Each structure stands twice: as structure tokens, then as C-alpha cells.
Amino acid sequence: MGKTKVIVGLGSCGVAAGANKTYEKIRQLMEVDNLDIELKKTSCIGMCFREPLVEIVDETGSYIYGNVDEDRVIEVLEKHVVNHEPIKEFVVKTDLFKTADHHFFADQVKIALRHCGFIDPESIEEYEAKEGYEAIKKIADKEIKPDEVIDMVLRSGIRGRGGGGFPTGMKWRFAKNSISKEKYIICNADEGDPGAFMDRSLLEGDPHAILEGMLIGAYAIGATSGIIYCRAEYPLAIKRLNIAIEQARDMGYLGDHILGIEGFCFDIYVKEGAGAFVCGEETALIASVEGERGMPRKRPPFPAVSGLWKKPTNINNVETFANIPWIIYNGPEAYAKYGTEKSKGTKVFALAGKINNSGLVEVPMGITIRDIIFKLGGGIPDGKQFKAVQLGGPSGGCIPEYLADTIVDYDSVNATGAIMGSGGMVVMDESTCMVDVAKFFLNFTQSESCGKCTFCRIGTMRMLEILERITEGKGKESDIESLEELAYQIKDNSLCGLGQTAPNPVLTTLKYFRDEYTAHIIEKKCPAKVCKKLLTYTIVTDKCTGCTVCARKCPVDAIAGERKQPHIIDQEACIQCGECYSRCKFDAITIS
């Protein structure tokens, strides 16, 4: 099989964990120890909690090692490459034996992420070796007509993976039926919620799949030009996209008369966005591409009729386009066999928050939220209790533990008050204050409001002010009613999806965790002991040794007492900073 391959994961998560240093250390060892290996780069396989990751492929098989820093890589190379003795306790994935992390991959079905972490994203040859560009070649060779391509996408059942869940094939047909010699196709790679980590990983790990998906979409609707709208904060993704575009042009996949298809001329360029969350909404994105401020426009007309430069335009997100080549090459029935009746295929989720296995997973629709969190995600750290999951990004909703057996599909998730969104899944444990969570997400959406709609601009601000008042112990009983009234007014009267979904975190926490709001307002207590202004610090007389550390560190001199005698906290003077609690070595200070 030739030289042993050593492949380092150099996606953004790997680089953040020190993978560049690992890569350079391997290069140094190759020179110093004269190692006869082939050193290669890849991207993220989704196992972010084990980064840096290094894969070794030898004559016996493939072994992916986790947590491979500069020190561990020396041991791995010496034992595995030189002495041919794999270090089983460091291996996180292999087909040769069961690893401690095997549950992370057990229920995954990788379609959108099929190449991520397994090819060099800067090599078109490696993409082609994995059936890359075979889908568009199939269309050309079999002379499949545009309407037939759209029919295949419709039969697959794929719905837009950017949040709304609109049937992709239907969206394409609307654009196809719009009469114009000039049409556009846009990839929205600018979504700003936790699910955008998934988009970035796809762009970094398999950029050619996105290009091929856009290429197929362009052929289907008759588009002449494509734009990938990517936030400038993703420099590695932008770099790899531009490399892929140049390679595709050189190989004849972009340009004039592509693959000999008569009249099919199409090219793509990258438009860098400023990272505005509102540009996840397609009309705001279009405005930004045209050089205007990213603000939503009234619909109708919809982009399929009048979009970019008032020409018919189709917009899909990164994950949607990544699925398209697989669907065309393998057939719509192969895709539709996964999922539920109304939600076909797979979905990528970005696991974050209070969870052991943070990272990216791709699962078939129909799996339960509980299985994602506890089987793939490895459960909650430190033995704490699972409390809720926030699904759908900043404007998603919070689903409580007792609804964790809800299946993942559009209708079931929507019924809880959450949304699928682009796949952000933030897990919370018993130490999470749900009122504080609602405030956190509303603060984000309020600051990201473009300001066009009065209800969104002013309404979210008023809601945020109420939440801040509640978490500071100044809440009133009427605040809950005010929050609900404002929330529904904002949902019903905002122009775009940002305003229409911004109240979701508040509405779902009020629905499922109303007792926490009541405790904050009536009892002036935070059950999770998170909201500082509602905490009471008390010194336990029997445990206090009179060391005076707490008194010396108190910034407002609220603690008094003689040396070697129990101290007392003046509750009127205390500002709830927590300095005394963090400094006490004798567990003599309690929080209530």
C-alpha cells in the first residue's frame, strides 16, 4: 500500500486545540528521525472534544488518535509508526477494535459530512477519488433534464437545512419556472448561531461538495452565476473555497459549456459578509450582496421571482447543498429511506454546552433528542442532571428534560416551541438558570436586530429590560404577563424570521420553567444560584476559623470579625460579588 500516512486534522477546531503545533512537530520528527511517512492534512471529523486528532493509515488499517499534542505525538509515532504497535488507549476511532468513544459514531449516518476529515479539502483529486463531481457527470452523461433533476430532489424529500425547512425541490421549481435569461443561485454560509459551526466545518472540510451542489442547482433552475455568501470571520473556509473554485475552473467544472452540456455556463465567486445574524434571512442577504445594508425586504415578491438584482434567485444553505450531489449520484430513494414521513434524510447538529462530547454529529431524522445527548454526546459532565436543551440557535426554544424523547423532525420539534434551525444544540444541566438563559439569547437577537421593524427593534429591547430587572431581583408579578404579550406582538408583526422567532427562548422558558420566573420575582431567589443579585452569602459559624481572608478580600468591607473568631457578613453592605466564597478554603461560606 506504499508509505504509512499520517493525517492531521487542521479544521478551525483542531487549530484552536493546537493541531498546527502537532503538524509541525511531526515534520520535525520526519527530518530528525528520517521517518519514511506521508504527512497529509485534513479537516474536522466532528470529534471536537478529542482535538487535536491524528489519523495513521498503515497496512493493517486506519487508526484515529485523540488529544495528540506535541508530547503525545512523539509517543504515537515511535510506538505505532516505528515499532508497529498501535496505542489502543489513545485510539478514538478504528474499524479494528472497539474504542472508548465508539458510541459517538454508532448511530451516525454521514451524508453531508461524508468527506469531512477523510480527504484533503485543498485537493480536487481526493474529492474526485471519493465520487466527487460524479453526480454532475451523471447528469451530463445520461442527459438528465433540469425538470428531472428537480423531480429527483423532490422525491428525496430533502427540506432546507437552514431553518425554515421548506422543500428544496419545490423552491428550485419556483426559480426554474421564473422566466429570465439571467438567474442566480446563492449559498448562504453566513448563519450566526451555534449551528454555523457546522456550516464552517463543511466549507473547510469539503468545499467541492458545496460547489457541486450549487452546480447541480444552477443546471436545474437555469442559473448563470453563483455566490457563496460567507462571513469574513471564517478565513480558513474562505481560503479553501477560493482554492476549490480555482481548481474547479481549471478542471472545467465551472465556466462555459460545462461537461459539454449545451448552453450550460456557470461560475461562482465568494462574497464576504460582515457576520450580521439578520443576513441569515434571504432578502437581507440579497441586500448585502447588492452593497446595501443587510435588512429584510417585504415579500412577495419572493427571491425565486425577484431576488438578486431583481432577477430570479434561489438560496439554500451549506448543508442543503452538501447533500445534493449524494442524492443525485445515489438516487432519491437512497436518501428518502432515512428519516420520518415528513422529514427525510439526515441532519447535522453542533453539540455544545454542558455535554461531554462536544462537536458535530450527523444523524437520521427520527432519532430522539435523548439519544443524541446521551449516546452520541456522552451525557452530562460531572454526574449532573440534564435539565434542558436549546435547539435552533439563538432564536430557538428550550426543550425540558421530560420532552427529551421528542424525535428530531421538523413537525415534532416545532410542536415543542423550538425550531430545527441550522442545527445548534446547546445542552444545559441543573446549574443553569433558565431565566438567565432567556436573557442571554434575547440579548443576542436584540443586538442583531436590523432595526427596520418597530416591534422587533423596540419590543425585544423592552423584553430584555424586563428580564434584566427580574434577574436583578426587581421583578414584578405583572412582568410575566408583559413578557408574553410583547413576545406574541413581536412574533406576529415582525417582517422577517429573526423578529418572528426572537421571543422563542422566552416563551419556551415561560412555558416549561415558569416556576423559576416566579422564584425570581416573588421569592427573590435564583434556584440555580446563578443570578448574582439574588444570592445570599452566609458564613457558617461552626466552620469559620477566623483566618480573615474573606474580610481582607471583600471589596466593600462587608465582612467583620476578630482573628480566630467566626466572622459575619453584613447583608446590607454585601454586593454579591462572590469573592469571599471563592477565597474560603474551609467551605465556611454558603450560597442561598
Q: What is the pLDDT of residues 483-537, one digit of tens each?
A: 999 999 999 999 888 888 999 999 999 999 999 999 999 999 999 999 999 999 9
CATH number at residue 128: 3.40.50.11540
State mean pLDDT over 403-424.
Answer: 92
The confidence score (pLDDT) of residue 423 equals: 84
The confidence score (pLDDT) of residue 527 equals: 94
Establish if 492 belongs to a structural domain.
yes
State mean pLDDT over 206-228.
Answer: 98
Same domain, 323 and 208: yes
Residue 194: band (very low, low, confident or very high) from pLDDT cuts 50, 70, 90: very low
Q: Is 520 helix (H, G, I), strand (E, B) or coil?
A: helix
Establish if 585 belongs to a structural domain.
yes
101, 136, 157 — which closes off a domain?
101
Positive or negative, the CA dihedral 529, 530, 534, 539 is positive
Same domain, 444 and 504: yes
Residue 139: φ, ψ to 5°: -60, -45
State mean pLDDT over 226-250.
Answer: 95
Q: Is residue 274's pLDDT more than 90?
A: no
Establish if 115 belongs to a structural domain.
no
The angle at the Cα of 304, spanning 421 to 239, to the nearest 5 degrees, equals 60
State mean pLDDT over 540-546.
Answer: 92
Provide the H-helix boundaries in 144-228. 146-156, 168-177, 196-205, 207-221
The angle at the Cα of 271, spanning 269 to 274, to the nearest 5 degrees, equals 165
The confidence score (pLDDT) of residue 579 equals: 92
DSSP secondary structure code for residue 281 in this structure: S
Q: What would the 3-class secondary structure string for 403-421 be?
A: HCCCECCHHHHHHHCCCCC
Strand 397-400 relative to strand 359-364, pairing: unpaired
pTM for this structure? 0.93
Burial label, 2 (beta-carbon count in 10 A; 0-12, 13-18, 19+) = exposed
CATH number at residue 452: 1.20.1440.230
Same domain, 425 and 451: no
Establish if 108 belongs to a structural domain.
no
Same domain, 444 and 418: no
CATH number at residue 550: 3.30.70.20
**H/E stretch holding 75:** helix 70-76
Q: Cα–Cα distance between 320 and 335 in angstroms, integer?
A: 13
Same domain, 151 and 288: yes
Q: What is the pLDDT of residues 38-47, one digit of tens each?
A: 999 999 899 9
Q: Is 521 helix (H, G, I), strand (E, B) or coil?
A: helix
CATH number at residue 28: 3.40.30.10
Residue 275: band (very low, low, confident or very high) from pLDDT cuts 50, 70, 90: confident
Same domain, 211 and 186: yes
CATH number at residue 408: 3.10.20.600
Same domain, 420 and 457: no
Host domain of residue 374: 346-429
Same domain, 264 and 249: yes
Per-residue b or e along 15-33, where b marks 16 or more CB atoms closer than 10 Å to that residue's CB? bebbbeebbebbeebbeee
384, 410, 429 — which closes off a domain?
429
Same domain, 204 and 329: yes
The DSSP secondary structure of 76-101, one letter per residue, reads HIIIIIIT----GGGEEE-SSS--TT
Same domain, 165 and 45: no
Q: What would the 3-class secondary structure string for 334-378 be?
A: HHHCCECCCCECEEEEEEEECCCCCEEEEEECCCEHHHHHHHHCC
Q: Is 541 helix (H, G, I), strand (E, B) or coil?
A: coil
| 8 A C-beta contact, residue 327 and residue 145 | no
Residue 262: φ, ψ to 5°: -60, 125
Establish if 76 belongs to a structural domain.
yes
The confidence score (pLDDT) of residue 192 equals: 54
Q: Is residue 193's pLDDT more than 70?
A: no
Establish if 340 belongs to a structural domain.
no
Structural domain count of the chain? 5
The confidence score (pLDDT) of residue 190 equals: 77
429, 463, 496 — which closes off a domain?
429
The confidence score (pLDDT) of residue 424 equals: 86
The confidence score (pLDDT) of residue 368 equals: 97
Question: 462574497: which residue's cell?
Answer: 271
Same domain, 388 and 401: yes
Q: What is the pLDDT of residues 322-378, one digit of tens each?
A: 999 999 999 999 999 999 999 999 999 999 999 999 999 999 999 999 999 999 999
State mean pLDDT over 292-301.
Answer: 92
Q: What is the pLDDT of residues 111-136, one digit of tens each?
A: 999 999 999 999 999 999 999 999 99
Establish if 247 belongs to a structural domain.
yes
Establish if 376 belongs to a structural domain.
yes
Instruction: Quote the mean pLDDT of the chain.
Output: 94
Same domain, 509 and 582: no
